[in-house]
Amino acid sequence: MTEENKDRSLENEETLSEENTAAIEEGASEVLSSEEANNDELSAAKAEAAALEQKLEEAENRYLRLQADYENFKRRSRMDLEAMQKYRAQGLITELLPALDNFERALQTEAADEQVKSLLQGMGMVQRQLVQALKSEGAEEIEALGNSFDPHLHQAVMQVEDSEAEPNTVVEVFQKGYKLKDRVIRPAMVKVSQ
C-alpha cells in the first residue's frame, strides 16, 4: 500500500470513528431521554395512584359515616317506638285526671241522708275503678304530703310558716300529682313550709 492509500485508510477510519462516536452519543442521548420519559411516566403514575388512594380513603370515610348515621337513625327510631308504646295511654290519662279529681271532691262531702250515702258509695266504687284502671296502665299518684319539696314532682303554690313542720316540707296538697311510669304527667300542687 502506498502512502496515499494509508492516508485515505486513516481518514476513513477517523471518519468511521467519528460517525461511530456520533452514533453512540446519539444512542446514549436517546436512551437518556427515554429513561427521563420513563421516569416522568413513573412519577405521573405514582401521583395518579396517590390521588386514587386518597379518593378511596374519602369514599371509605363517607361510607363509614353513612353507616353510622343509619345505625343512629335505627336506634332513635326504635327508642321513639318504645317510648310511644310505653306512654301510649298518656293522653287518655291526662283527660281522665280532672274527672278523677271531681270524684274525689264529691266523695269529701258529708252525707245527710241514706240516699246521698248510697250515691257517694257508688261514686266511691267508680273512683276506685278509675284509679285501678290508671294503675294498670302504669299511672300512679305522686306522694307529696309530709315529704320534702321536689320541684320535679311538686308545684308549690303557697308557702307558710309552720313551726311543727321542717323547712321545705309539703304541708298540704291542693291537687294530686300523677306519674306515668317514670314520666311526670301532672305535678302535685302543694303548700310548702318555710
Domain region containing 55:
1-86
pLDDT by 10s per residue, the chain, length 194: 566 666 566 565 666 566 666 666 676 666 656 677 677 788 888 889 999 999 999 999 999 999 999 999 999 999 999 888 888 888 889 999 999 999 888 888 887 888 888 888 999 999 999 999 999 988 999 999 989 999 999 999 999 888 788 888 999 999 999 999 889 999 999 999 98
Are 33 and 43 contained in the same domain? yes
State how many domains the chain has: 2
Residue 78 vs residues 34, 66, 73, 152: alpha-carbon distances, Å: 65, 18, 9, 27
Are 91 and 81 contained in the same domain? no
Are 55 and 93 contained in the same domain? no
What dihedral angle (degrees, nearest 10) is formed by the CA atoms of 9, 10, 11, 15?
100
Are 48 and 97 contained in the same domain? no
Are 12 and 102 contained in the same domain? no
Are 72 and 95 contained in the same domain? no
Residue 131 CB: number of other CB atoms within 10 A? 16
Are 80 and 97 contained in the same domain? no
Q: What is the CATH number of the domain that holds 169?
A: 2.30.22.10
Bridging pattern class, strands 154-160 and 188-193: parallel
Are 78 and 102 contained in the same domain? no
Q: Which of 86, 120, 148 is the last residue of a domain?
A: 86
Does the pTM of the predicted model rise above 0.75? no
Q: What is the phi/psi pair of residue 168, to 5°?
A: 65, 35
Are 80 and 96 contained in the same domain? no
Are 74 and 153 contained in the same domain? no
Are 72 and 142 contained in the same domain? no
Are 106 and 144 contained in the same domain? yes
